[in-house]
Amino acid sequence: MMIKPSASIRNNYRKVADYCVETGLPVFLTNNGEGELIVMSIQAWEEERQRILVEEALKQIESEENQRYFNVEDVFSEADRIIGKAEGKKI
């Protein structure tokens, strides 16, 4: 990771671009000492985007699995509650 003032992209575009392409790392650009932009190679951006998409898909799958399955203790606890309620209503 490299942090540079925004003027460096104007004055040293090739150097910044080469750094991003060769290392796969972003360059953080500042303006008046405050973070403003991140510059990265297209390949690094595509890889990051793919990583995010995979992570989102895994979270979705995990969420769906959590909705389909129940904790064993919870199932037995609920069964005991229902049975107890039914036994209290003996006819």
> For residue 78, which phi and psi values (nearest 5 degrees)?
-65, -40
Domains of the chain: which residue ranges? 1-40, 42-91
pTM metric for this prediction: 0.60
Burial of residue 2, with CB atoms counted within 10 A of its CB: 0-12 exposed, 13-18 middle, 19 or more buried: middle
Which of the four CATH numbers 3.40.1620.10, 3.40.50.10860, 3.90.1150.10, 1.10.10.10 does domain 1-40 have? 3.40.1620.10
CA distance 56 to 75: 29
- Residue 57 CA to its chain's centroid (Å): 10
- Specify the amino acid at residue 79: A
Each residue's pLDDT expressed in tens, for the chain with a length of 91 residues = 788 888 888 899 999 999 999 999 999 999 998 999 999 999 999 999 999 999 999 888 888 776 766 778 888 888 888 888 877 765 4
Look at the block and give the residue holding tokens 């985007």: 49
